[in-house]
Amino acid sequence: PQSNDSILQAINLSKSFGGLKAVHQASIDVKNHSITGLIGPNGAGKSTLFNLLSNFLTADEGQVLFEGNPVQNLPPHQIARLGFLRTFQVARVLSRLTVLENMLLGTQNQIGEHLFSVLLQPKKIRKQERESKEKAMNILESVGLAEKAYDYAGALSGGQRKLLEMARTLMTNPKLILLDEPAAGVNPTLINQICEHILSWNQQGISFLIIEHNMDVIMSLCSHVWVLAEGTNLADGTPEEIQNNEQVLSAYLGE
Ligand code: ADP
Ligand code: MG
């Protein structure tokens, strides 16, 4: 059923919390190599939709296809290993670990989960640890956080934490990254830098789905925008089409 130019397709996803239909038969499509936007008023269900797409929450109904394959039965860490990564609206970094340690979280899995490989191949493991550290330092360098590598993540600004969380997704060779409000609470200078990074990662072939309230960010980055309101699809189109859509404008009134 999937068209092969889509990296992510979600069809009729629904999720209720008690009596509240947070997401109701929402569908979304992200073209391969695109930067796609997801907007909508507060409480529209955007973050919940992200949780359904990445299986941090189980959908009541609907289907999610990543590269044409259903992923709903996979736990989030296995979805991540396929190259489908996400960040959170409130960045999830561990304050009491250093910036570098945060980058390396999760890389141990790739080194070998079997006790035997730990016992029998210590040299190989040390080599892989060295390579992971080198990769992490290169990524930190590219986002301007290398000088903070040995600082506690808790000492970073809110914006730097968001940047660190994005940088960490690059450790897993992502094909698609979902970003939940990358510019929220971030100072304008850092917002510009984050946008530059997103564009450059996109040029390296990574697709993005971005929730964002900052319309300048959406307009400057996205080729296509989906609008959610009250848990369901309101519109989708180019940024220009969305900006001039009466229904979208009225959904935002009263915000
Ligand atoms: P958005 O990200 O678009 O602002 P959310 O997806 O966070 O919206 O929330 C959609 C609706 O679902 C809101 O009314 C919110 O209060 C509710 N909601 C979100 N998560 C939960 C939860 N874990 N339990 C109960 N209600 C929730
Ligand atoms: Mg949200």
Cβ neighbours, 10 Å, residue 25: 14
Q: What's the rounded Cα separation, in Å, for the pair 201 and 183?
A: 17
Distances (CA, A) of 46 to 3, 184, 203, 255: 24, 14, 26, 15
The secondary structure of residue 172, as a DSSP letter, is G
Distances (CA, A) of 33 to 89, 145, 201, 204: 23, 26, 10, 9
Structure tokens at 103: 């980058």
pLDDT for residue 129: 87
Ligand nearest to the CA of 45: 1
| Positions of the chain with pLDDT lower than 50, given as ranges | 1-2, 111
What class, spelled out in words, does domain 6-92+173-252 have in CATH? alpha beta
Q: Whose CA is nearest to atom 13 of ligand 1?
A: 43
* CA–centroid distance, residue 220 to ligand 2 (Å): 21
pLDDT for residue 108: 63
The ipTM value here is 0.98
- For residue 228, the ligand 1 atom closest to its alpha carbon is 3
Mutate to test the pocket of ligand 1, among 16, 48, 181 (most ligand atoms within 8 A of CB): 48
Q: Which residues line ligand 1 (CB under 6 A)?
A: 17, 20, 22, 40, 42-48
* CA–centroid distance, residue 210 to ligand 2 (Å): 11
pLDDT for residue 126: 83
pLDDT for residue 2: 45
Ligand nearest to the CA of 89: 2
Q: Whose CA is nearest to atom 7 of ligand 1?
A: 47
Structure tokens at 204: 């390296």
pLDDT for residue 109: 52
Q: Whose CA is nearest to atom 14 of ligand 1?
A: 43
Q: Which residues contact 6 (CB under 8 A, 6 or more apart)?
A: 29, 30, 31, 32, 65, 68
Q: Whose CA is nearest to atom 20 of ligand 1?
A: 48
Mutate to test the pocket of ligand 1, among 14, 15, 16, 17 (most ligand atoms within 8 A of CB): 17
pLDDT for residue 112: 52
Domain ranges of the chain: 6-92+173-252, 94-155
Evaluate whether 94 touches 153 at the Cβ level (below 8 Å). Answer: yes
Evaluate whether 160 touches 194 at the Cβ level (below 8 Å). Answer: no
Exposed/middle/buried for 156, CB within 10 Å: 0-12, 13-18, 19+? buried
Q: What's the rounded Cα separation, in Å, for the pair 52 and 15?
A: 8
- For residue 49, the ligand 1 atom closest to its alpha carbon is 6
